[in-house]
Copies of this chain bind each other. A is one copy, B any other.
Amino acid sequence: MTTPGLRERKKQATREALREAALRLAVERGPDRVRVEDIAEAAGVSPRTYNNYFASREQAIVSAVTADREERIAAAVAARPSGVRLADAVTDAVVEQYTNTGEREHKALLLITTQTALRDAFLDATAGIEPPLAAVIAERLGDAGAHTARVLAASVAAAVRIALEGWLRPTEDADAAGSFAAGGLVVPSGSLADQLRAALAPLAPAFDAAERRTQP
């Protein structure tokens, strides 16, 4: 495992090349002015090979921003000392990994905002945090709570998705939101960190209860 083998290295190199090519072309021309054929050609690979790596055209562009955020979040949770509340560990790790963003990623996010299909792909990508997150949570809860860990991880993913949805829509028709939230106070779309913490807060009691069940 020290050397993943040339096989795996070339594989990751190709994936990286596709990522970068997709993002670059999407920035240069419009996002819909680029076909998979162009991306494949820019990466020096056949179009058929392209969707051996990415199921949809949008995934390639989005994955340039998403990268391996899933593993980073899981690692960040694992890095917290075991003394702190699990809920805090998860919340802080998520906020940290979503706000510590480079300049290049921020520009790419602006691009994503413009296209509905890209936004959807970006939101769908959040579901990918569930498996690694479930693993680290299960590690803290012990084997008995493996099932609970899975549910909690999925809930976190859902909450993050909601936070992102609420965040990347500054340009929304005001009347379109009047379906049922006409009662008045809708969150005025604060910073991303605020949105994430607000979305994750309701889940904290569930984490506390799960944690209490294994460490009384």
Interface residues of A (CB under 8 A from B): 135, 138, 143-144, 146-148, 150-152, 154-155, 157-159, 161-162, 180-181, 183-187, 198-199, 201-206, 208-210
Offer 23 A-B interface pairs, CB within 8 angstroms, sorted by A: A135-B180, A138-B180, A144-B185, A146-B181, A146-B183, A146-B185, A146-B186, A147-B187, A147-B198, A150-B162, A151-B199, A151-B203, A152-B202, A154-B155, A155-B158, A155-B203, A157-B158, A158-B158, A202-B209, A202-B210, A204-B206, A204-B209, A205-B208
On chain B, the residues within 8 Å of A204 by CB distance are 206, 209
Using known A-B contacts A148-B202, A206-B206, determine if residue A161 contacts B154 with beta carbons closer than 8 Å. Answer: yes
Complex Cα distance A51/B21, Å?
32
Complex Cα distance A211/B147, Å?
25
A-B pairs, 5 with minimum CB distance: A154-B158, A205-B209, A155-B155, A143-B183, A206-B206
On chain B, the residues within 8 Å of A152 by CB distance are 202
Shortest Cβ distance from residue A46 to the other chain B in the assembled complex, whole angstroms = 25
On chain B, the residues within 8 Å of A154 by CB distance are 155, 158-159, 161-162
Using known A-B contacts A135-B180, A206-B203, A210-B202, determine if residue A151 contacts B159 with beta carbons closer than 8 Å. Answer: yes
Complex Cα distance A202/B154, Å?
12
Complex Cα distance A148/B138, Å?
25
Complex Cα distance A135/B179, Å?
10
